[in-house]
Amino acid sequence: MPVARAATPAIAALVAAGAPHEVLAYRHDPRTEAFGDEAVEELLRDGGDGLVAAQIFKTLVVALPTGLGVAVLPVPSKLSLKAAAAALGVAKATMADPAAAQRSTGYVVGGISPLGQRKPLPTVVDSSALQWDRVLCSAGKRGLDVALDPRDLVRLTNAVTAEITAA
């Protein structure tokens, strides 16, 4: 369900860049900890306007030997830390401490967007994004996603693309 422009840094970044996008809100249950699964379930409810789960992406913050990085991949997929590390040009990656991820990005876990982060981090977007006309990712708040052209997502985050999902 479309909503009026919300004031999150992610949406502000899209507006400032002139990138076409659509903001979508869904009902967030404050008791849930499976944020990506909740987004898929809610955004696909009632047919999901032709969306499929593989178009809805999650943003994971990873710890690298050089600091933090971001991996953006379809919600139904599992992240290959080894592939993400290789794509970001380092030997190893682990999942970042949630508090460190929140401090660095300016967003709360479950609402971390790859866009408009407090401190832009090295980013890799799963190459499967490029097969879609539009993908969804967090708009910077739990219960809020943004639909955009995946090429805009890659461009605006200065991301590399690579296959980063685990088999």
pLDDT digits (tens, 9 = 90+) for 50-75: 888 999 999 999 999 999 999 999 99
Q: Which helix (H) or strand (E) holds 90?
A: none
Contact between 116 and 16 (Cβ < 8 Å): no
Closest CA to 32 of 113, 140, 109: 109
CATH superfamily of 9-162: YbaK/aminoacyl-tRNA synthetase-associated domain (3.90.960.10)
Give the confidence band of 30 by pLDDT, cuts at 50, 70, 90.
Answer: confident
The pLDDT value given to residue 2:
45
Give the confidence band of 21 by pLDDT, cuts at 50, 70, 90.
Answer: very high
Task: State the Cα angle at 134 between 51 and 159, rounded to 5°.
Answer: 130
Give the confidence band of 1 by pLDDT, cuts at 50, 70, 90.
Answer: very low
Report the C-alpha gap between 138 and 94 in whole angstroms: 21
Would you state the torsion angle of the CA atoms of residues 8, 127, 95, 23, taken in this order, to the nearest 10 degrees?
Answer: 20
Stretch 39-46: mean pLDDT, rounded? 82
**Which position has the token pair 């088999």?**
167
The pLDDT value given to residue 48:
67
Contact between 56 and 43 (Cβ < 8 Å): yes
Question: Does 7 have pLDDT greater than 80?
Answer: no
Question: Does 45 have pLDDT greater than 90?
Answer: no
Give the confidence band of 157 by pLDDT, cuts at 50, 70, 90.
Answer: very high
Stretch 154-158: mean pLDDT, rounded? 97
Stretch 23-30: mean pLDDT, rounded? 86
Higher pLDDT, residue 138 or 35: 138
Contact between 152 and 146 (Cβ < 8 Å): no
Question: Does 130 have pLDDT greater than 70?
Answer: yes
Contact between 130 and 141 (Cβ < 8 Å): no
